[in-house]
Structure 1
Amino acid sequence: MLTAQPPPERAVYGNYIGEPGIPPEMLTSGFLSAHPDIRWRREGSYSYNRKEYDLAMDQFTRAARYADKPSQAMIAEMYWKGLGVPQDRELGYAWMDLAAERMYPNFVIKRERYWGLLDAGQQRNAIERGQQLLAEYGDDVAKPRLAKLMQRAKRETTGSHMGFVSGGLKITPMTGPLAGTGITMSPEEYYKPEFWNPQEYFASQDAEWGSPERGQVNVGELENVAPAQDETAPAPETTPEP
């Protein structure tokens, strides 16, 4: 797994590992079917940890189609090391370059490390091969793909995956790590914009993965500044007055 920076803290429920930034009661089968980026990344991680690399590659690739940068980085790592696929460092770099598209520090560090280990010919090939990946998995196409699915799923959501308690004022998770615990949540919590509004959803990912903030610096007019006096230089000699 990627180790350029420590993994985020994750809540643990028995043998179930939580998802950073998402309450565990949210992770029902209905929620995950509407967020295939999370679903397939999680399944890919489980397969990878069991060393079922062929299965993990398929699952990470599914997540990668929905703009999941961590999954794209894992695909890069697997190609770089030859895990579940023939080793292909050019393709490994191309995938890591895609994972670093949003300038998440973890993935930028890896990308630059890979680049430095390729020779000039491999670098040219990696850039060329990366254009094909960008057309299929880049944010310009992958983000709208996920946004469309999320919006449709929200419209079609019913109580079949959750169940409702008295008056429909609370939602009781019927699947996921907290199923059967009696824990409830309000519809307002479940349908927070950060989970269902694509723009806010991606903004929360940027915050979670540490995308650097972009700002603007205004530079004023140039000014002539007198050189500073060198305090270490010997003082000029003076001639005593007669």
Structure 2
Amino acid sequence: MRSNRPIRNFLGAVFVLSTMMVAPAAGAEAEEPSPPRPGSALFPYHEHMPSYWLMNRARRLYSIGRHYSAIHFYERASRYADKFGQYNVGVMHLKGEGTAFDPVRAWAWLALSAERGYPTLQQAADQLWALLDGEQQRRARAILESELMPEYGDAVAIPRAQLQMDRERRRSTGSRLGQPALLGMLRVIDAQGFGLSRPGSEYYDPAKWDMRQLVEYETWQMNNLARGRVDMGDTEVIEDEHDR
């Protein structure tokens, strides 16, 4: 088995990833026009995803050094197809934060986060894979295929997330508010205490309650951003766009 030194050195070379930290380079142009975005700066497209609150909670816990609790919430977010949560679990295994240092399990989580082919997530997984020896690679792939994919892969996690979103939408609209005319008169007050309000038609926009459509938008966004500038730095957990 190889020394862990190259893997620990990897901590200083992996991409720092975030949909907000990764910005297009000056003059860079997208290969295709941006699709309609289901959200805004104040009310991002993530807000109805089941992982939204979990990711915010994990981020706050991580920021104050409560890593054991943070990784627990990142794992919960991971069950709802949150690729950034899955990436963060992998990084925390790699850094030994809230859990034991385990590059084998770290790769399995990084590979899971790269399931959709997000270029920066894929590169992080590929770089770590190259540092594992043959036995470590065998164990890492077994963890990914037999343990993580059946529980956290998109094939099961996206339907799970959609089911939860459907339940929450029914709970929040009740039996009559689904009518377009009523939604047009409804005002929704932000629950975070900022005093912001918006039309009910915006809050209940079907695009923001369609998990597969949100995944398609996020995939477009990550692929587009990867064609721009990527900053390098110490490996760290990432903030989802809605955290900014």
TM over 0.5: yes
Distance 1:8 1:107 in 2: 11
Choose the corresponding residue for 2:218, options 192, 205, 219. Answer: 205
Q: Assess, with a 3 A threshold, how the Cα gap between structure 1 residues 119 and 3 changes in structure 2: closer, same or farther.
A: closer
Name the aligned partner's letter for residue 39 of structure 1: W
Choose the corresponding residue for 1:175, options 191, 198, 206. Answer: 191
Question: Which blocks of at least 5 consecutive residues in structure 2 are unaligned?
Answer: 1-10, 22-36, 175-181, 226-244
Are residues 1:192 and 2:205 paired? yes
Are residues 1:35 and 2:49 paired? yes
Distance 1:109 1:115 in 2: 10
Distance 1:157 1:172 in 2: 11
- Match of 1:102, SS? coil
Distance 2:163 2:216 in 1: 17
Contact conserved, 1:94 with 1:126, CA < 8 A, in 2?
yes
Distance 1:68 1:44 in 2: 13
- Match of 1:150, SS? helix
- Match of 1:172, SS? strand
Name the aligned partner's letter for residue 98 of structure 1: L
Distance 2:19 2:84 in 1: 13
Q: TM-score, structure 2 length as denominator?
A: 0.69
Are residues 1:23 and 2:37 paired? no
Identity, % of aligned positions: 28
Which has the higher Rg, Structure 1 or Structure 2?
1
Report the counterpart of residue 231 of structure 1 in structure 2: none
Which structure would you say has the larger RCO, counting Cα contacts within 8 Å and 6 or more residues apart?
2
Distance 2:131 2:169 in 1: 45
Show CA shifts across 1:219-242 (max 9, x none): xxxxxxxxxxxxxxxxxxxxxxxx
Q: TM-score, structure 1 length as denominator?
A: 0.70
Distance 2:158 2:122 in 1: 20
Greater shift, 184-193 or 95-104, is seen at: 184-193
> Cα offset for 1:22?
3.9
Q: Which runs of 4+ in 1 moved over 6 A?
A: none
Figure out how many residues of one structure are paired with residues of the other and give that number: 190
1:9-20 mapped onto 2 (5 Å cutoff)? 9=20
> Cα offset for 1:158?
4.2
Show CA shifts across 1:15-34 (max 9, x none): xxxxx97436547xxx95x5
Question: Which blocks of at least 5 consecutive residues in structure 1 are unaligned?
Answer: 11-19, 160-166, 213-242
Choose the corresponding residue for 2:129, options 115, 140, 148. Answer: 115
Please state which structure has a larger fraction of its residues in helix: 2
Distance 2:214 2:79 in 1: 16
Show CA shifts across 1:13-71 (max 9, x none): xxxxxxx97436547xxx95x52212111211121122210011111001000000000
Contact conserved, 2:17 with 2:120, CA < 8 A, in 1?
no
